[in-house]
Structure 1
């Protein structure tokens, strides 16, 4: 054996145990590092202060890179301490209620309608009419009315027709107003009430009162149905010319159920 071979054997004898110890030391260190990361990283993620600090240090170390910032921002949104409240939307100004006497009249403009209700729906009418539909609740007394009210205007923006379908606890107030204001008169009928008045050729203003299928004693504001249609008065046919006409105008028309 040469001197070089003897030297190599002695080196292997002293170095191999040392390299094994270093390898074991590296494996133990790696295990400790992984264990520490598994404990520390979730703690940093869940703690808002540490998360902000870690994000700052990350950006400073990598020169303000946009990718880590975006990832941390999404992470912060996941772990917010308290949820955001639901936004409150403005429902519009609280307008005073409109009485039935003020609502059921023909000297009303479209501007008046849109300024007295916070919500107005536009609907199509007959021919060239344009309808403005609103929800009317005239009050809380049994003699008040509640339902759907529609104003129909012509091309000159003049109110030509009013329709209403809804409920009331006592129809005496609204019927008295219609008889006084529009000349409606009671007609023979098997329903709760039928009131009519001629309003021009082929037009009849009328109000019909129907019994509800079930009347509850506790529902003092909902004991009868109302179906009202008021036309702007036009030329009235003379009595002499109306003798040969059939009494179709006084024929009762059963209104559809609205509830």
Structure 2
């Protein structure tokens, strides 16, 4: 029980703190402990049947025929978790394919059933966010941090963000370049990949080397800041990511 409580506190601190852990040494040290504890909680490569996986796509979901009012599901009301769901790891079941979680066909119900603890956050007046801790596994190319899904008024995901760490970015980069159209940009950081529209970034992956490279914590070698936006004339980069991009430009950290 003590071990479970300590693990819960560490993972939730990392997921709620987000980018704060990158700049606060004490918070970062706490976040680094996620990886060592995740190995015991989530064996790498284990498959999970805890929840049904939505089909991965960035396209707008197809409109389903309306059900009678008494049978109409309300995706804005999280369902009650079953006993099995309540006992799953705080960071959710292990992830075989990153597209399972970086999925624009997710809805409120799926998010609430996949993670036993989800917090809400307001991006702006038009988007409502659901944030959850994410540990995809215990391999070097797995991810640990927090993932947030931002929904519009129709319950469709318009933005997905992830803030955390990894020891090897290649698996994440392959997924983003293959399925979301990210392209590499010259940078002084560990890596920068963008999706652009009319020359302006609309989605961003920024990789930065950890301030301290600890051989005992290889999973935390890189800090990851990722924002994927559905192609839309209504939604672009979040104010936070737009500010990060402008600061990097001004400091000549990237660009030719």
Q: TM-score range by the shorter chain?
A: 0.5 to 0.7
CA, structure 1 residues 203+211, in 2 after alignment: closer, same or farther (shift >3 Å)?
Answer: closer
- Secondary structure of the residue that 1:221 maps to in structure 2? helix
2:141 and 2:110 map into 1 onto residues whose CA distance is 24
- Cα RMSD (Å): 2.7
CA, structure 1 residues 203+186, in 2 after alignment: closer, same or farther (shift >3 Å)?
Answer: closer
- Secondary structure of the residue that 1:179 maps to in structure 2? helix
Given the alignment, which residue of 90, 95, 99 partners 1:98?
Answer: 95
Quick check: 2:166–2:220 contact (8 Å CA) kept in 1? yes
Q: Give TM-score, length-normalised by structure 2.
A: 0.55
User: Residue 226 in 1 paired to residue 220 in 2?
Assistant: no
User: Residue 186 in 1 paired to residue 190 in 2?
Assistant: no
Could you tell me which residue of structure 1 aligns to residue 167 of structure 2?
A: 169
Any stretches of 5+ residues in structure 1 without a counterpart? 1-89, 236-247, 255-259
Whichever structure has more helix as a proportion of its residues is 1
Q: Give TM-score, length-normalised by structure 1.
A: 0.54
Superimposed CA distance per residue, residues 91-114 of structure 1 (whole angstroms, 9 cap, x where no aligned partner): 932152234331112111111101
Of structures 1 and 2, the one with the larger relative CO (CA 8 A, separation 6+) is 2
1:166 and 1:215 map into 2 onto residues whose CA distance is 15
Could you tell me which residue of structure 2 aligns to residue 214 of structure 1?
A: 212
Superimposed CA distance per residue, residues 153-182 of structure 1 (whole angstroms, 9 cap, x where no aligned partner): 000000000111000000110011011111
1:180 and 1:146 map into 2 onto residues whose CA distance is 22
Quick check: 2:85–2:113 contact (8 Å CA) kept in 1? no
Quick check: 1:144–1:168 contact (8 Å CA) kept in 2? yes
Q: CA deviation at 1:125?
A: 1.4
Could you tell me which residue of structure 1 aligns to residue 26 of structure 2?
A: none
Matched length:
153
Could you tell me which residue of structure 1 aligns to residue 202 of structure 2?
A: 204
Given the alignment, which residue of 117, 122, 125 partners 1:124?
Answer: 122
Any stretches of 5+ residues in structure 2 without a counterpart? 1-83, 234-241, 249-256
Could you tell me which residue of structure 2 aligns to residue 111 of structure 1?
A: 109
1:131 and 1:211 map into 2 onto residues whose CA distance is 28
1:105 and 1:145 map into 2 onto residues whose CA distance is 16
Structure 1 runs of 4+ aligned residues shifted over 6 Å read none
Could you tell me which residue of structure 2 aligns to residue 38 of structure 1?
A: none
